[in-house]
Structures are given as structure tokens and as C-alpha cells.
Structure 1
Amino acid sequence: MELSDLLTDLFGRHRERIALRTTGRNWTYEELDRMTSALAHRIDRECPPGRRVLVAGEHTAEAVIWTLAVMRSHAVHTPLNPGLPADRFEEFVRVADAALLVCFSREALVRAEKAGIRALHAGDVGWPAGPPPTDGVDGQQTRSRVAYSIFTSGSTGRPKLVDVGHGGLLNLCRSLRRLLDITPQDQVLHFASLSFDASISEILATLYAGASLVVPVWDQPSWLGSVSRHLAAHGCDLAMLSPSVYARLDEAARRRIRKVEFCGEALGEGEYRKAALYSRVFNAYGPTEATVCFSLAELTDFTSTIGTPIDGFRAVVRDPETGDHATAGTGELVIVGDGVALGYAGGSAAENAAFTTVDGSPAYATGDVVTLFEEGRLTYVGRIDEQIKRLGHRVNLAHVESTLAHHLGRDVALVRQDTTILLLTAAGGDATEESLMATIRDLVPVWEVPDRVVLVDALPLTSGGKVDRGALRERLAPLADGVPAGDAAELRRVLDVVTAVLGREIDPDTSIFDAGGSSLAMIQIQVKLSETYGEEAVEAAFAAMDYDFAPATFLRRLRGEASPSSESGVEALLRRVEAERDALRGELPLLRRDTRHEPPPWPGEGDRTVLLTGASGFIGGHVLDRLLAAGRPVLVVSTGDPDHVLSAHRARFGREDADYARVRATSYEKLDRWVERRRGPVVDAVVHCGYQVNHLLPLDSHLSGSVRNTALVVRAAAALGARSFAFLSAASVGADFVPLTAGALNAVGDPYSRSKLISEEYVNTLAVVGCAVSHYRPGLVYGHRPEDHDYLQDDWFTGLLDTARRVGTMPRLSGYVPVCDVDTLTETLLAGLGAGSGTGESASGAAGSRSEVVVHRTYALEELLHHTGLTPSDVLAPAEWFERVRGGDEVPAPLLAAMQAALSGPGWPTAHREVDHDILGRLLGAPRDARAGDGTGAAPLAEPQNGAARASSPR
């Protein structure tokens, strides 16, 4: 049965059932029948019969529907990874000799034009409203003998285009339904990239059984993270995953999978044991050249079996010495049956020699070594090209790899580099390269011991979810000057990008910030590098560098290499913070002086002076205005010109010079001198609002800037006699106030939020001198006057809402957005100082210590849609929304990056309303369809500095 006829039959058989699901949308089999038939008709008008149609889309229901449409057309379905580098994209288009490309982004249209192929943008076509027209296309046209073509790297690492016929598809569907026990009630996860042939199994096996294919929404920085989150929330009845992907799922996600079919690479005992705790476990084997799946077994205990052949296949083993075939024994697996592919399109005679016949039936020599038992059961031994001679013994690297993974209890990969054997494994726990090597020597014979153990951040995966051994080999070239030898061209490419942005070349190991670059320059470099290496890989590399970019370090992080030190970055940071905290704790009692009998700085002030930082910022400015209204004496400390801070505040709040008679302004430098001399004005309380709010700066910049200033203000609080200290932290630090540990630091995502957590730790040291400490972690803070408009231009959240209004679509936000009212927050900050009410009465004593998350109101996605005049039909997955916005070039790069950083979190978990008024409604005005003028944006969490983009993730 041809693929198109098979699909037509399935759509007709299960008409009323749900065939495809994604967040907020279901399609029945009847609806898919109508839509894919109409789209297939459109494709047949655009593409001659028998020619290939490239489908460049991933991980959306829309891409699945177009895939089914191409399968039903007279063309040949050929999926293409849209994230390929430009040169590879053009090479794949050339090899495929396709007539048409179906794409889902404007960038792909540009790529198609450069590659010389006609393209059809799915968004321009839209969804057909009715049945397909009957004009112009002959329904009796002969279809190609090729059901689909798919690229595979095979064992050589060089991509080949496999032409797969129709012969094995029905057997594949029947076997998977029976062996995996797929029922019409099952929800089957769609995980695989469409460019990976596992997606064929996911789609066809689901439809054949009348089940529902579920496409998670891509709402996390990575597809794997999105799937893991989806599974934790919704679960699934069946997931087809590689062991390497399964190992990266959260525990909560693994608990919700009822059946898991492992495929794509050898299953280790560790992954089996994890899966068997929660799921029925199946192990599948099948090269692309055998219509996805050749053999399958359900495991009730761990063995190395890959099962027995599915319907339509049989196995023989070939003796490598004689070339004879046998029905039992150990040798190269040769797959025999109608499901064997037709060959490699454009492949050489040597490449296509793997396709042959056995007893007149199509056959494929896999290059895999197996043991075949009389009853047809198979066990996997390894690859022919993985067998080597060492110390006179024949060694199978796959067998050694499996043995070591089992005994070490961790994922490992053995990689050959000429005559050297390297073992790679992810860093973690207390293991070092030396300790692991010592353990390995006790586990295996000397001829099986690798020459070296290398710890990496993570084993890289291919788009199909397998360990990417080609990428590992590239990363493990001999090191020279910190950059892999033979990789000078790669380093040159990165340096050229940096030079183009900065206007000058820098040393490979120099940070761009040390070279005078800005956060904007860093974002520009990140965007340019993403064009070459892919957005997800570059984002992961930048995150591993804590967004402190140096060219050579970037290349190492891109390859997954750890820092030269065996100590993790978080552990080193924790040691540094603990040492500085302990030093501060020991210093504060020496700084503390008795100010009870010292004269006040101004007559009549007593001991009521408040030291305030951040008065030039949005929140700090409101705090100063409230203190002025209360008549409190204030010592303003600023990073900028103190006189300018006060004059700007005067203009902003419309005050007179006389209102500042009891305000004194100074710099951090002068404050430091007061502390060193143990002299200065007497201070009763400190309100520390001054902080550079920029989630895109590297941690080192925060440590040397805002955190260093926080430590100085803490020292000043001790030296000037403060009895209370209120610190304005951030909700993005988290909801729990826990002791500082490596785990606590790891739980805080971005460098800015991590620096806030460290600052809280330094502030806590004031307990040794009896100073009451309060930490307030507010959400996004709004409540603006017209004079505050400048504080809105770089705010990620109102920038997002403004952009959503302009483009007519909203990204899907999970959870809630936590918001605070600036006036209410100001009252909270000053409640213990006797100035919260504006009465001017002094506090009778030190305020009590408090630590709280401050959220006055939360907003759900539905409320944001109302405020922007949009509807649920205007909501897009975040990845799709950012792609659309980025294509418009209307949002500054730092602000766009700040939006992405903020949306990377899971959102605020619960609804909350502490104030009755609509904070955003007051700020934004009426929705678009009812308001007279444009709305404005919203405010950052604290003071803006240096024009940097501000973002505070609502977590």
C-alpha cells in the first residue's frame, strides 16, 4: 500500500477521533483529512509529480500537518532541519534536487532564494477552509516509488539521502500497534525532529492505531526543556526517545510516561533501571535504511537484546572473513525484507554496495555486529568499525562502553583519536578524571582501559537525540594555546565576528568587557554567532560562560568542555562568597561604633537620619520623595554626581529647593573614606535600593559593581551606627529564603538574580552587630507619573506588551506575572522606619528583621490579552513569536534579549491579589479597541544605569 493511500484509509477509519493535539487546539481525523488533502492539492500544483518537497519545520502541529500533506501529494516528502548552518542548508538542497521547499519562517525564504529553490511559506498559504478544488490536477498521476527521502549521517558522519519505498510502511504500522500496545485512547508524544526518521514512527503508528499525537508547546529555551515540562504536567501514554534524551528528562517528567520505547542508540542498564521504575520499557533497533524500525522487544529485566524482527523482515548474519550468510551466530547483521530502502540518492557505487539481495529479496548490510539466535532473537554487540586490536586482543568499543557505563553508573562515550582511546563523561559529583581512571583499571582488562578520561559539561546530542560522536571527536583534538589544534579557522571565524562588532581585534582569551565592550556588543556577537552555530547551542555556551564572552572560552563551551579547574564554577563562586562573607562578618564588630552620645549631623535631627541608595532610580526616587514628605533627614549615596541626582529628583517630582534642606548627597567613594576613618554622620536606618538591573551582564560585572557597593553599604551601616537595614532584592531570586549553598546558587538562573542572592548574604552579616535586616523581593514594579516615562523605555515586560500590540500577537506566558504598586512597595520599605505613613514620627527602636516576597497582584495571560486588545487566537508559542518579532527588526537587540531571558522562567505559580486597583490598567490605559491614545510601558525593578536593558523574570 502506498503511503498516500495508507493515510487516506486511516483518516477515513477514525474520522471522529482526535488525531492531533497541541496547547489550545485539537484536530480530528476528519479535519486532518480535509486539510491535508487540500494542502496536498496545492503542493501538486506547485511541484511536478515524483519530485522532492523539502519541509523545513520542527516541533509544531503546523509542521506535522504540512508533513502529512506532502505525504498525501504526488511529491516525495523530504524533511530538512531548519537550523542547519547556511552552507549545509545549501548543500542539502543541492543533494535533494528538490522542486519546492515548504517553510515556516521568513528567514527560510531568504535561505531558499540563496540556495536557488522555490519556496512556499506556510503562513502565506494558511489553513484551507473547504475541500480541495478539482481543477488542474490529475488525481490519477503515478506516484513515485519513493515514499519519503530522509538524510542520515550513518556511521561515517557524512550525510546521505536515503530513499525509502512504500513496501515496509504497513508492516511498520501493524507491528508497532501490536507490540507497543497502542490503543485509540493513547496520547503519543511527538518529540523527534521531523528531520529524524523516528518522527515517521511517531506519526504513522499513532494514526494507524487511531490514537492522538500530542505536540508540546515550545515554551522553554530548549525543545527538550519544553517537552520535559509538558510531560511533568500532562504525561503521555507512549514516548519514543533515545536513551541520551531520556537521561536528560526531569524526574517529574519520567514519572508521567506510561510506556517508553528506546530507539536511536544502544540502551544502557542505567537508563533501563530509571525507566522501569515508572514505565513499560521497550527497546527498538532499526537503521533509517530499514524503514525506521527493524526489531523490537519489551524488557522486564535488563538484557542487551534488541528483540526479534517485526513483520516483513528477517535477519541473517554475515561472516566478515568468508562473506557467507547464516541464520544464527555472530557477525554483521544483514536485514532482509520489503522494508529495506531503495538506496542512497546520488550515492556512489561503493556507498550503495550496502544494498543487495539475499535469496532474491532486498537486503541491507548494516555494519552492526549482532548475535542471532535460532529463535530469531538478536543481541547487539557493536559496530564493525568499532572493533580494534589492542595489546594483541580484539576489543569492541561498544561492549567496553556498555560495561563501563553499567559499573560507573554514568553515561559514557568512547571515542577514537587515531590510536588513542578517550572516554568522555559528564562532570558531576565528586568524580575526577584521575579517580575515574583508577576505578576503570579495576573494572576491565588492561587492553580495554581507555588512554584518558575527559570530563565535559554534557555529552552532545545530534538532532535525533543520539550522542554526537562526530562533535566529540572535533572537541577532543589536541589542545594548543587553549584552542583545538587544526581549529584555527574556527577561532578565526569567531574573532572576525568580534572584530566586526567591536571594531578591533582582541586576544582569544580576553573578555569583551575587559576590552571595553558593552552588553549591547555581547548581544550583537551572540546574534551573529547564532547564524553559524545555531541559536540554542550559542545560548547554552553563553550561559555556561555566565555571559562573560571570550572567544577561546566560547569555543570550549560550545564543545561542552568544562573549565580547566576540576572544581565547578558554582563551587568556586560559593567558596569566594563564603570567604568574603566571613571576612565581612569579622570586620563589622571592629567598625561598629557607639553613636548614642555623638552630636547629630544637623541640629534637631537626633538619630533619625536614613541612608538611601538608588535615589536616581524609579523606586529609590519614590522612597526619597516619601522621606521628604515625612520630614526625615536623608543621606543620599549615589554612583553618579550627587548634585545631579538631587536636581533630577527635584525636576521629576516638582519639588522646591527648600524641600531638600535636610538632605545630604554623597558618593560611594566618599562613603568608603568615612568607613575607613570610622567617622561620618550618624545613621539610624539604611534603605538600599541602588542596583544595576541588567540580566544580560556577566556575574563578574555584578560582583565588581553592585555587589561590591552592597558590601560597602553594609560596612557603612556598621560604622555609622544603623539599627535597621532594608534591602530591595528581586522576586527573580526565588520564593524561598534558604541558607546559601551551591544548590541555592544553581537554583537561581541568571547572573543578575544570582548577584542579588549573594548581596542578601552579605547584608545578613549585620546580625553580628545587632542591626535588624529586612529583605524584600518584589515582582515587577509599576505606578508611573508622566515624569517617570524614561524609566519605561527599556523595561522588558511593557516592551513585550507594546510589541504584542504592534504585531497583533502575544507570546504564550506560563503561570502568572507578579506585579507590585510602587506606592505600596514604598510604604513596605519604610514601615519600620517611622516614615511609612508620612507622619514624620521617629521609630522608637530598631525595626524587626523581615524577609518576604512582595507581590501585590498577579496577571494571567487572559488579562494581558485584554489589556493589549488581543484574543486567545492571537497567542503564539514563544519561539515562534520571537522569530516573528526578530524578523521585523523593530525591537532593539538588548531589549529583545531581555524579553527572552525573562520568559525563560516558568512564571509565577499562583494567583494573588493584595490591592484592589488594576495596576497595569492604570499604567496602560484602556485596551487598544477602546482607548484614545497609545499606552506607555512599565517600570524596571530598580534604577537604570548606562542605558542597559533591564529584565526581572517573574519567577
Structure 2
Amino acid sequence: MRAPEILAAAFAAWPDRTALFSGEGPGISYAELDRATIRLASRLQQAAPGNGRVYVLGHHSIEATTAALAVLRSGLTYTPLNPELPGARIDSIIEELGGGLVLACDERWQDRGEVPARTEWRRLGAVELAETAADAAAGLLPDPGLAVAYSILTSGSTGEPKPVEVGHEGLLHLCRGQSEALEIGPGDRLLQFASLAFDASIAEIMVALHAGATLCLPPVTDGGWLASVTAFLRKNPVDFATLPPTVYRLLGASAQRNIRTMVFVGEALEENEFLLAQSHGRVLNAYGPTEATVCATIGELKKFSRSVGYPLPGFSLYVLDETAPGGGLSEQGTGELVLCGPGVALGYHGRAREAFGEHTGLRTYRTGDVVTLGEDGAVVFHGRQDDQFKRLGHRISRSELENRWSTVLGRAAWCVRRDEEVVLVCEQDTLASDLLEKLRRVLAPWEVPNDVRQLAQVPLQASGKLDREAIEQLLEAAPADEPPPAQTLVAQVELIAKGVLGFTPEADRTIFDQGADSFTFVTLQVELGKVYGDELVESIFTKLDFDFVSNDFVHTLHELTQAPDSRAIPGPPAPSAQDEAEDSFLLSTRLLEEFEAGLTTATRPSTTASATGVVLTGARGFIGGHLLNRLLSAERDVVALTSSDPASLPVEHTRRFGGPGQVPAVAMTDVAGGDLLAGRDVIHSGYTVNHSLPLSAQHTRNIIPTLDLIRAACEQGARRFVFLSATSSGPSFRKWGREAWDACQDPYSQAKLICEEGLHRARRFGLDVTVLRLPLVYGHRPADQAFLENNVFLGVVRAALAVGALPETTGAFPLCHVDTVTDAVLEALESPGTERFVSEAVVTAQSLAGLAPGRLVTLLAAAWLARVEAAGVMAPEMLTRVRQVIPMIGQPEDGEPDGVALISAALRTIGAAR
């Protein structure tokens, strides 16, 4: 099946579904996209050049995406070009490929004077696309049968940009393999992030349409592409996004939360990004050079690892082993990865096969990447074996970069990498800013260095070769700049802020009152970190309660660096820990007062009336899933509220619990302004459990959504509201105040307490409220395995057994089975509101010791945590959470059963789940 057939089949299968969505209106249906592409493809076939090559110059627009699909549908060779490249580079690429037809979809390039020989340049915007759809013939000419489906530029194995030619068979394997691996289906929403000039866009577009999904294309705003994507995701949840870890990190919490399945590509995945993405949904890691039709391996990660999954259909994987029989290829071991099969590209246009070859009659490609192939076929990526590295999404070679710099500047230049930055080193001659400006005029953005450092004499080895080690030592030994005067520092900080905000912020006002949002704040933190150091800037923002006021920032910067003129800038003294806690409490009180001021009294149904209607949040979670299953079994009229795709919830629930999966689901955003909650019971179990998040992040993820739901319950006349809180909020239900606040030992518990108080205030407006404080919950089924990775209780027990010691605690772990929780919730639906703990037992250090008598000793909490950290038996994220719950709260009550039996039962269910 060739590219035209793949697209034709997709258009025919789902004519009424939405194919393209840009955030406004109903989007473009498959039928509409069918008509637009078939007509434009027909025109392209009629105007096709002799080599059958059509270039698309543009990205991130409906017009460019439609043009790309039309070229692929025509059977001609689709060749996207990056409009960010200098004009001379674009012309040289077209000349190398033998000319062709250019569809200029980017307004900067729609009008050209001279163009390369054998090249026809055509404008394609919204108006031209409409004219084409109106006057072109509706039928396609026969598929020209070209072997190459698309050509796309890559740095290849040498760093020199070269066009990779990919066949139709590889494209078919990509569509089928990724659709199956990602579990993409009709109606799913897939983000289109990559520029058309990157091969990742091929996967995003073709896989989405092959599966009947909706391709979400964010409209471009003045803030740039990343800001456009962030703004789109805040309002439009997607089921799938494919992004490099660096990009994901910069999206911001509200956008990250709206990605149900995150596929990481392009860079090595770090644990922080994995844990963050995992808190919102599925996480997959993928690998594939351009020479492998975008993607060669992919796999879902349940816990952090360096694995990039398993090979997709169309690939066999080997490592190069000169000692192995049969051509030096081995199916296991560590070495350079060699890809083999129909998924491998056809080769480089007009060049020697270089890294391409054959094995058992199939194409092969030597990737230059070092991996380990396990016995089960899993692939662990280790890095490059040469001097290549990724920068701004492009793989480039140090030697090639040095060659380009030297050619442009007309002088010797060398490349030195310092952490994530690329530094150009040369002998002293002229202003560094002049050199940078000359490079920016000629080179692509990913080829321009971050900085230029000029040396009086460049060190050489005895052989005459450059001594790179000596250069790096010289850069490290260079004296740090003296702290600038206060006035210069103010100007410097204001200049950085203006570059991010687009205006100079007022010196004494928070940027959040001047139109900034959380994404802008994160971007500003990154830019300030480049100048003053990430750790120092983070310390400053911590002192400023994660806010930015120019004068306060400068004052704190002086204070922390002990600059001699720190008194030159007036500013508030650094707050003490007690002051910060007081501020957080007062801010939370103010939030609750504003919340209460917006509440309204609605007509309430009788709390004694019989009702079966239930609205449930958190059905994708461990407890929420079990609640949903019980409600369905009891034949309750239940509706699940979800912050991600409602259509996927029944599938996930069926996968966990079996059954037909008839689960009515509604998007959380559809609740406001309606009457969904009228006369129904609301069970709110949808809460991100993360003790390590600061209170500011808890506001975004947990507090505000909960208060919004409480407000809607009041306005719409809900029958009652059951809130699943946490025992960590304190040992007793106190009236709102400092005493109750101080009893909470971490921001997560404080967030729960704020939500409880919001319910107390809603009770004054007639809402029937039940608050159930839950302990650590066990009872995991095999299908609940993913929820075990963040289980604090299990983490403590595992670490204790690993290091042979237990933490000495002043309190206890309350513990109960998930069935006990669901029983308590169902009971709450049948009785007036109340507040209570739900617990079967409390577990102390003494009862934990019963797990292994005579082997486990008890240590002070600090000493135990130090031993666990030194042994490396607990993930850093889990260690952070455990620090915040030790010493454990709560006290054993008389008559409760011994904890040992319950621990054993909990471990049995945990073991069965695993």
C-alpha cells in the first residue's frame, strides 16, 4: 500500500469525523480534507516536473499541512523545506535535488525574484487553496509510481545536511506500527507539534489520519510557536503528544496536565520529566533516526528507565560486533545499533550509500548510536559513538560545525560544549557580538553558538593539533565577572524581563498583575538562570514565593551574592520560615473568602429523597476506578467527569475491570453553566496525589478545580457532595485557623485542608457535605499495577527490607483496603453529611518489625532516610514524599487490630498485582 492509498483509505473510512482542528469552530472533516487534497493533488500531477519532486515551504498552518497531504496523495515526491533557513541555503538544496515545483506556504517566501534553475515557484495561501478547490479537476491521474514517498533533510552520520529518501513501504509500517503501539483510535486527538521540515511531522500527520484521529494544529500567535502550543493545550486537552523532553519541561503545568499520553523523542529522557508526565497519564519513549522512517522503536514506561522500547514492525535490530559470525551482527549485547528491514530508508539522494547496506537481502542502516539489546528485545539507548549531538532538534557534528563557522568568519574557529551550551572559541581579533551577528545572518539557528570566547593564544598539542582539554581548562579557569553596580544590575534584569514579556515591567509590581502567566514566569526563570545560574535564581524565586517583582529580585540577588552595594536597592528583608508559613495561610484564607463571596444558594432537593444519580471524578485513578466499578455493579446512574478525553475512559475501565464498559463520561470543562449536577450526588476523588509539589502548584492542579466543582454543585443544586480527603491533613477535624494549618506537614495536606474548608463554607449555602479522610489504601488488582509505583507505604516497606532497618516514628500509618473505602463512600450516599476517618488499622514501627522479627532494627527518621538515600533503594521522587510523611501522623486507637496481619494482607495483594 502506497501513500496515496493510505490516505484514500483513511478519507473513505471516516468521512464525518474531524480530521484537522485548530482550536476554533468544528474543524475540517475527513470528507472536506478529502476534497481539498484530491483537487490540489490533481493540479500537482498535471504540473509535475520531470523529477516528480514537489517542495512545501512552510509549517504550522492549515495551508501547509493540506499541501503536504496533497503531495503525498499525488504520488509525487514530497520534500518539505524549513522556511527559517537563509534563502541561499534553500536555493542550494533545491539545486542539489534537481529543481522541481515549490509550494510557498510561508508568507516570507511567497514572492521570489530569481529562483534556482529547473524550478517553478508557486504561492499557496488560504485564497489560492480555495481557488484550487473550486476550479481543479476532481479526479486524480494514475499514481506515477515513484519509489520515493518523501525526501527530508537530516544531518545523517557525518553532520552534513543530506536528503534522506524514504519509500512507501516504510511509511505503511510506520502508520500501522505506531497506531498499534500508541493505541490510537478514531476520535482521539493528536497534537501536531513538529515543523513540516522535521520527519516527526510525517508520523504526527500520517499516523493520526491512518487511525481516524483528529490532528490538532494550534494557531500561531505573536508569542512564537512554543507559546502558541502552550496556549492551545491549556484550553484543548489532547490524547497524544510527541515532544522532546526539553519542550515538555517548558510547557507549564496547565498544558502538561492536558496531555493524556506523552511520547518522548529526540533527546535522552530524564527522570524528572518522566515523573511529571507520569503524574498526568501514560508515558512512552521512542527512538528513530530519519533514516528509519521516523520511528524504529517505541515502548511504554511504567517506571523510569533508559529503555526506548521494542522494534516496530518493519525492523530487525542488531548491534555491530566484529567478533560475531555472519557479518559482524549480533541480536544481543552492547554496540553500535544497526537497523534492518523495509522500514529503513532507501538511501541519500545522489550520494554513496555510506551507512546503508544489506543483510539477508534487506536494507540496513548503521545508526552510529550505542545501545544494548536485551534478551527480550528491549532497547536501551546509551548515546552517540562519535562527536555528534542534538541541538534545537537537529543532529549536528562538532567538526562540521567548526567547518561552517570557519568558512563564514574566514578564520579558524573551534566548538566547545559546556553543559547544554555551545561555545565558539577563536583567537582574539574583534568584538564577539560582531562575530555572532555575522553567523546569525548566514547560518541556521541551530548552527549559531550560544557564546563566543576569544583567547590570546589557542593552545595546541605537540603534534600541532588543537588541545581541546586545555581550552576547556582555560574557560573554566577564566575569572568570573565582577558583580555589576546596582544600577547596571537593575538595567540588566529589566532587559532580560523585557525580552521575555515584550515590555519593561514596572519595578514594584508583580508581573502577574501586568499580564504574565505561569508559562511566561517559567520562561523568565530559564532566561535569568542563563545569566545568574539556575540554582541562584531558583533560590531567589523561593524566597519571593515564586513571584517576580524587579526590585525584589534585584534586592534578593544582591543579598544572596553578598554584593558590597546591596543596600543601594531598597527592598523587603528576606522573610523567615514563620513569615512564609503565615503568608501562605493568609493567602489561602483570602482565597477562601473570595470563593465564599461567589457562592449562591440554590433550590435543594430533599436530602432524604431517594436518588441514584451520581457524578464521579477521578475514575482513572486507583480508588476512583474501584468506586466506578462498584457504582456500575450497583446499577447506579453514574456519570464520570474527566479532564482528558471522555471517549477513552470506557476503554480504560474495561481494560482494568472487564465488562461491557458502558460508562457515560463528560469532560470536566463541560460542567460549568449546565445542570449536570442538579439532584445528583457528587463524589470527588479526582485529585493529583503528589506531596512534593509546592502549594502554588497544588493551587493549579488541585485546589482551584475542586473549588470550581463545589461552586458548580451549589449553583446547580447537587444532592450532596462527598470529598475524599487525606489523613495527612491532621489527626482531628479542627475549625479553620492557624492551629489546623500547622497540623498539616506538607503542601498536599494543606491543599486538602483548603478544599475541606471550601466545603464547610458551601454547607452554609445548603450543600450536604461529607468529608472522608482516607489513609494509605491497599487492595491492588493485577490491572492496578501502575498505581503501585507511587505508593508511599509500599515504598517504606520495600526500603526497610532492603536496608534492614525501619524508621522510628512518633505516630502511625493508618491503613485500609480499597473495598473498605468504597463501602464508606456508598454509605455516605445514604446518610446526611458527616466528617470521619476511614481506617482498618494503624501501623507503627513495632508492628512493621513483625514482618521480619530479629532482622529489622529501628533508626531515628533522619538516620533511616540517610541510609536509604545512600543505598539508592528508593527513587528520589518517592524519597521526597516519604520525608514529608515521617514522623507519621495519627495515633493508635483502642480496640483496633494488630497491624501485622493487615500488612501481610496488603503485601499479598501488592504481590498479586505485580
Using the size of structure 1 for normalisation, the TM-score is: 0.45
Using the size of structure 2 for normalisation, the TM-score is: 0.47
Bigger CA radius of gyration: 1
Structure with more contact order per residue of length (Cα contacts < 8 Å, sep ≥ 6): 1
